[in-house]
Amino acid sequence: MTAATPAPRPGRSDARPALHAEVTVTRGSHRVEAAFDALPGHPLAVIGPNGAGKSTLLAAIAGLVPIDAGRVRIGSRDVDRLPPERRRIGVLFQDYVLFPHLTVRDNVAFAARMRGSRHAARSAAEPWLARYGLAELAERLPGELSGGQSQRVALARALAAEPEVLLLDEPMSALDVELRHEMRAELAAHVREFGGATVVVTHSRADAATLADHVLVLESGRVTQRGTLDELAAAPATPYVRRMLARPDDAD
């Protein structure tokens, strides 16, 4: 039997859908309200101080926390009433959240395993392992991986599910500072290759500059500014934006 192979990412010509989100979500005493579009091939960074509600916003879009009001739409598909497993939204979690009991191969094969046999899923995982330089690590357990390797596995696992939208939650925060520069460039290349609507949540200007071409600033659950980093620099709307732009890279 021929195993399903992942559709080749680069040069994929069909139009990928945009993400449209306008949500109100409450977590504890915090309320987050935001509306934005993320277009395929134009990653959006959601940047803001700790506790601004960035991760909550991401979880709401992925369907991991319920929204109070609003809508989440992918292309012409309304997904805000769908459970997370039917939204086709991939998530790169902050500290990756790999399955500790599964090998690298079975982590990457997980989405395919949910749709088919173990054998077919493992075959389908092969090209992803190769593309992310994980072939050598395929039999390892997550506990035996470095931070950078874990990030690769988590990204391969998310993209192997062939999501239409990719959400990245503070993708660099679990890495050593020395590693971040290198991994950021690698991650940016993979995100470009993915080519679909992408939202990256971060509090680092360097992440926003490398991984995204538009920025949305979230402070205390509200959008305070949006535009490119250059546009933000030209007219920072709040003291936070001014401080964030003045901070050296990788200062946390």
Partner 1 sequence: MALLAGVGLAVLVLPLVALVVRAPWGELGALLARESVLEALVLSLGTAIVATGACLVLGVPLAVLLARAASWPAPGRRLLRAAVTVPLVLPPVVGGIALLLLLGRRGVLGGALADLFGITVPFTTGAVVLAQVFVALPFLVFAVEGALRSADRRTELAAATLGASRWQVFRHVTLPLVAPGVAAGAVLCFTRALGEFGATITFAGSLPGVTRTLPIASYLAMQTDPDEAIALALLLLAVSVGVLLLLRDRWLPGVRG
Backbone angles phi, psi at 223, to 5 degrees: -80, 120
Closest contact distance (angstroms) between CB of 84 and partner 1 is 4
Asked if 93 interacts with partner 1 (CB under 8 A), we say yes
The residue among 9, 83, 19 whose CA lies nearest residue 214 is 19
Q: Name the residue nearer to partner 1 (CB basis): 44 or 160.
A: 160
Collapsing DSSP states into helix, strand and coil, what is residue 90?
strand
Q: What would the x/- binding string for partner 1 be over residues 106 to 125, using CB under 8 A?
A: ----xx-xxx----------
Asked if 104 interacts with partner 1 (CB under 8 A), we say no
Asked if 159 interacts with partner 1 (CB under 8 A), we say no
Segment interacting with partner 1, rule: CB under 8 A, options 3-11, 19-27, 128-136, 153-161: 153-161
| Residue 77 structure tokens | 């598909």
The residue among 162, 219, 224, 150 whose CA lies nearest residue 195 is 162
Asked if 72 interacts with partner 1 (CB under 8 A), we say no
| Residue 162 structure tokens | 């062939």
In angstroms, rounded to a whole number, what is the distance separating the alpha carbons of residues 91 and 84? 10
Give the list of residues 6+ apart from residue 81 with CB closer than 8 angstroms, or none. none
Closest contact distance (angstroms) between CB of 121 and partner 1 is 11
Asked if 83 interacts with partner 1 (CB under 8 A), we say yes
Query: Total residues at the site for partner 1 (CB under 8 A)?
Result: 24
Is the separation of the CB atoms in 71 and 133 below 8 Å? no
Is the separation of the CB atoms in 154 and 93 below 8 Å? yes
Closest contact distance (angstroms) between CB of 154 and partner 1 is 8
List contacts with partner 1 (CB under 8 A): 62-64, 83-87, 89-91, 93, 97, 99-101, 110-111, 113-115, 157-158, 161
